[in-house]
Amino acid sequence: MSLLKEICGYISRNGFSTLLIQVVEVYLGFLLRYLPGIEGFVLRSWLYRLIFKKSGQGLYIFPNCTLTFCNRISVGKRVAINVGCYFDGRGEIDIGSDVMFGPNCMIVSCEHGYASTDIPMWKQPISYRKIVIGNDVWVGGGVSIKSGVTIGHGSVIAAGSVVVNDVEPYSVVGGVPAKVLKNRLNQDS
């Protein structure tokens, strides 16, 4: 009876269409996640273009990607998401056009609270903050992007970086935490 109560509460908070998208995302996404070859690209593109909040033409999702809360993820045209990426759209993710993600990137738009030492962290509030990634951005392999971050147009994020602050347009950033290495408009730096 408790499970039924949980489901009814979820539907009343989020609506039935959100529940339906979540079910399709979990089960159909799982079936298509590991599908190899051109068939896998076509079917994953078809599925996620249907369940993303917004999606342009030319969406390429490589095998073994996990994309959750897709009804809160928007992508522009010509977006490539490489092998093993994990996107959690609970706080919303907005990706521009002509964006490339290297393998094993993690884009998570929510965070657990940890301020109180008297309350276990899993019981503390979760914060949801939108992530915005501009047009013509290259996110290298193994990059993590924290919730609330905006990455400006034309930027490059070096492999293995952890992005915790906003990135100005045309910046090249890298490191843990990511720092500006140079500006693409000023090639002398």
DSSP state of 96: -
Instruction: Calculate the alpha carbon distances from 78 to 7, 15, 97, 98 in Å.
Output: 36, 31, 6, 5
The Cα–Cα gap between 134 and 93 comes to 11
Please say if 112 is a catalytic residue: yes
The Cα–Cα gap between 93 and 104 comes to 17
DSSP state of 141: T
Per annotation, catalytic residue among 7, 8, 26, 112: 112
Active site residues: 112
